[in-house]
Amino acid sequence: MNVQARQTPTAAASSKLAIADGDIHPTRKLASEFDPWLDKRWRDDVATFGARQRQPWQNAPAYPKAQPNASRRDAYPPEGGRQGSSLPFMQQQHLDPANVALGILNPLGTGQGLQNIDMSIALCHATNEWQQEYWTKPDRRLRASVVVPYEDPIASAKEIRRYADNADFVQVFMLSRTSEPLGSRKYWPIYEAAAEVGMPVGVHAFGYGGNPMTPGGYPSYYTEEMVGHSQAQQSGLASLVVEGVFARFPSLKMIMIEAGFAWAPSLTWRLDNAWRRLKQETPHLTRLPSEYIRDQVWWTTQPMEEPEPRTHLRDAINWIGWDRLIFATDYPHWDYDDPATSLPLKISEAEREAFFIGNARNVYRGV
Amino acid sequence: MSRHVVAAVGDIAPGDRKLVIVRGRPIAIFNLGGEYFGLLNRCPHQGGPMCEGKITGLVQASEPGKYLYSKAGEVIRCPWHNWEFDIRTGQSYCEPDRFKTRAYPVEVADGAAVVEGPYVAETIKVNVAERYLVVDL
């Protein structure tokens, strides 16, 4: 990369509205950053056998990414390392100029959903301690997620309760492509613990559950994986509703992260329609699916749908509710949404406040 | 409008690019085998800094199964969302009818002419024996 190519980022103008960012991806500069919280046994295991995902491609993602590390080419820290591995550069390039007052950390690729569940438990815990040491302690605008080894829900619940009184942790973090549908009773201990400690459960696109990327099988192209995230999330949300997770845990809040949101109205229309006809199948549901979703589900915005005309976006948001969307950039990933340009709609001051920060303050614990 | 000396010809190797600021405007200057082109360093989609994108070519298909690779080294991909633009014209290949990034003509001028003016060269030390890249703005 030509070193003459970068413009110096500018600090935020004080007039710029403070925002929340519901999806920031920190990463390690060196794998050894986890070492203080990993037993030697696990350091050796990771070095010898690798952290193996439930997918056949072991040394790379199933689909090639659009940019290196699936991240912005202009986000390499000047001191070296992967995009997202430097707090000072994240501050300089993103947090300061965008005036991010609350940034939610969602670490990916750390150890969730691994074949070796004991390794997954160890790596997830190291991830949580690392977030605090490397990110939330030095920058108080940032808040951590309890990254859970979700294929062992009992261990996950224990991990959630471990951070019950730690104010740096504001949500529980899962991925959408679990080995069983998200509402499966296998995962209920996670939802029970999250509701108990008052953290929402964020479900982020990706993960490798051992199933094909789409309900129709393995697609050929990355484009299909990208749009497949909304399909995976729709299956997950339908499962959460119909299995009765929201009915059983009425104080549980769920956040759908990085999977779009404009599909929410049509999914809900179909769910309501089917449920009215098949009520006897799921007597544990006492309200319409749309009512559970309306009360207990939030969405992060990135990557924002870009329909023509743009007014369709307003129609979708009006249906979901201006109180349900949490602005997110996905920094430093390549499909980043810029807060200055990604919502090209005329909105009221109240809508702007809710969309860019107010809703986040309502949903995350203690922020 | 004024003429701005932005770089010496030798500052940008063939196939490379350089970011310059002219009257507060960030402009990416590209060297395509000795020809020079300028593009506003702000993608018309969401504002990504074009200068940090990948320089590539254009893949097209006249029909499914028949591929054509052209414009090697003449296409810049935004470092954020991969939108592709023609370095020569700023034309978008994603939505050619709707999007274009602002293009700035770049001229090559002799040092002797630049010294005589009327050029603005605040940051470039001009040597009469050298040749320079000039942007009109």
Q: Which amino acid is at B20?
A: V
| ipTM score | 0.86
Contacts of B28 in chain A (CB under 8 A): 5
Q: Encode pLDDT of A131-140 as tens digits.
A: 999 999 999 9
Q: Encode pLDDT of A18-43 as tens digits.
A: 999 999 999 999 999 999 999 999 99
The C-alpha atoms of residue A127 and residue A112 are separated, in whole angstroms, by 10
Dihedral pair phi/psi, residue A363, rounded to 5° = -95, -40
A6 and B49 within 8 Å at the Cβ level: the answer is yes
Q: Encode pLDDT of B73-109 as tens digits.
A: 999 999 999 999 999 999 998 888 888 899 999 999 9
Boundaries of every domain in chain A: 9-363
CB neighbours of B65 closer than 8 A, spacing ≥ 6? none
Q: How confident is the model at residue A9 (pLDDT cuts 50, 70, 90)?
A: low
Helix A188-197 × helix A153-162 angle, to 10°: 10
Whether the pLDDT of residue A160 is over 50: the answer is: yes
Q: Could you tell me the CATH superfamily of domain A9-363?
A: Metal-dependent hydrolases (3.20.20.140)
A338 and B47 within 8 Å at the Cβ level: the answer is yes
- Residue A265 contacts residue A320 (beta carbons within 8 Å): yes
Round the average pLDDT of chain A to a whole number and report it.
94
- Residue A260 contacts residue A301 (beta carbons within 8 Å): no
Q: Encode pLDDT of A176-223 as tens digits.
A: 999 999 999 999 999 999 999 999 999 999 999 999 888 899 999 999
Contacts of A74 in chain B (CB under 8 A): 48-49, 52, 79-80
Of A299, A298, A271, the residue nearest A285 (C-alpha)? A271
The C-alpha atoms of residue B22 and residue A270 are separated, in whole angstroms, by 55
The C-alpha atoms of residue A193 and residue A322 are separated, in whole angstroms, by 28
Q: Is it true that domain B3-136 has CATH number 1.10.260.40?
A: no
- Is the pTM value of this prediction over 0.90? yes
Return contacts of B68-77, CB within 8 angstroms, 24+ apart. B73/B15, B73/B32, B73/B33, B74/B32, B76/B17, B76/B28, B76/B30, B76/B39, B76/B50, B77/B53
Q: Encode pLDDT of B12-40 as tens digits.
A: 999 999 999 999 999 999 999 999 999 99
Task: Work out whether strand B17-22 and strand B131-136 pair parallel, antiparallel, or are unpaired.
Answer: unpaired
A7 and B54 within 8 Å at the Cβ level: the answer is no
Residue A1 has a pLDDT of 37
Whether the pLDDT of residue A3 is over 70: the answer is: no
A47 C-beta neighbours (distance < 10 Å), count? 9
